[in-house]
Amino acid sequence: MSAARRRRALVQVLHLWLGLGLGAVFVVLGLTGSWLAFYPEIDRLRQPPTSVATSPPTLADVVAALRAAEPARDGPWRIELAPTPDAPIKARYYRPAETRERGFAPLLVTIDPGTLAVGDRHFWGEGLSTWLYDLHYTLLLGAGGKTLLATLTLALIALLASGLYLWWPAPGRWRQALAIKRQASRPRRIYDLHVKPGVYALPLLLVLAGSGLMLLVPHWFAPAIAWLSPPTPAFQAPAAAAAAPAISADAALAIARREFPAAEPRWLETPGRGHAAWRVQLRQPGEPNRRFPRTHVWIDPATGAILAIRDPLRQGAGDTLLAWLHPLHNGEAFGLAGRLVVCLSGLLPLLALVTGFLRWRHKREARATSARRRIDGGGPLAAKLR
């Protein structure tokens, strides 16, 4: 056997066992990624209807409702600004004592915009979407799951690379290699369904795998990013005891909007014990992040003075790269079309696993049939075996 044939045989074995051995994990990652591309809309459909306010509640009213419903929680709350008057208002308390040992498990609450009553209340991981997020991000194994998942992502990249190597056509046969044969035999149709979607979607799959890898283990890439352009250090608001701020939530929002009049507010973080600042999160035109933009304004709750501003449109290459990772991974950087593409791409691992298994079985049956024919076809060996 020539060196080229031996190399191809080794790649075939690698591709086979990576696909069959880890295919189920990749299917789980793909299907959960499809769900997460639209989880805010799915959660909205699953929630009970809310009342419509005759006039939108002020942010001060929302903050007061949260404080009244959870008086023991004197730390900061993050409030997601509702896109429409009838949409439920969502808030997160990031430091609940009940889940402190879990690392990241904030309390999530939903507020009715008409009555300001707190409805749904659960910790991260107890709801379906947040449980699926943890499954997608850590395989439900906590911090250690990120490292394991990063290793599996490298295996996925190797699986894609080996598949590309095995498919790569000879010179002059590109059109035939990219075409899908009509009226082909069943094994050929299975082959086309296994190979061609992966070839067509390979750039997208590599972007999803690469961005996911960088989100999972950013410390692996931190030296290279720092060499490219050191990221801006995160601003730390001064610590303070919980006290009623002199500047209201609505006033803080107005101050932030004066700094970025063309931006759309997305989140507001309240002052609280250990965090003496309002933080307003806005999205400027051109930012890839839509739900979690990176334009931030920190405001002194006593004086209304601006403590710090982060403007992602004026930052360096390192910050820009980091800002694009999440919206590339979930598709939101390209709006609804991007999210739809990511959602559909999550089905490809399932298609690849099913068709790959069928191809493996076809090849085993073909080898068994060939062996029987050699035995039954005559000759010295066949005579001895009869």
Residue 382 clears pLDDT 60, i.e. is over it:
no
Residue 326: closest CA among 207, 215, 206, 202 = 215
Q: Which DSSP helix (H) or strand (E) runs through 111?
A: strand 107-111
**pLDDT score for 240:** 66
Average of per-residue pLDDT across 229-233: 88
The residue ranges of every structural domain in the chain are 18-43+131-165+183-228+334-369, 44-130, 230-333
Q: How far apart are CA 376 and CA 382, in angstroms?
A: 6
Residue 204 clears pLDDT 70, i.e. is over it:
yes
Residue 302: closest CA among 347, 358, 258, 237 = 237
**pLDDT score for 340:** 98
> Lowest mean pLDDT: which of 53-57, 298-302, 316-320?
53-57
Please spell the DSSP secondary structure of 212-281, one letter per residue. HHHHH-HHHHHHHHHHH-PPPPPP-PPP------SS-HHHHHHHHHHHSTT-EEEEEE--BTTB-SEEEE
Task: Give the pairing type, strands 264-269 and 295-299.
Answer: unpaired
Task: Give the pairing type, strands 118-123 and 77-80.
Answer: unpaired
Residue 53 clears pLDDT 90, i.e. is over it:
no
Residue 85 clears pLDDT 80, i.e. is over it:
no
Q: How far apart are CA 111 and CA 48, in angstroms?
A: 12
The answer to whether the CB of 93 falls within 8 A of the CB of 106 is yes
Residue 377 clears pLDDT 70, i.e. is over it:
no
Average of per-residue pLDDT across 333-357: 96
Average of per-residue pLDDT across 281-300: 96
Tokens of 210: 């690469």
Task: Give the pairing type, strands 306-310 and 295-299.
Answer: antiparallel
Residue 386 clears pLDDT 50, i.e. is over it:
no
Name the DSSP letter for residue 38. T
Q: Which DSSP helix (H) or strand (E) runs through 133?
A: helix 128-138
User: 3-state class of 96 per DSSP?
Assistant: coil
Residue 381 clears pLDDT 50, i.e. is over it:
no
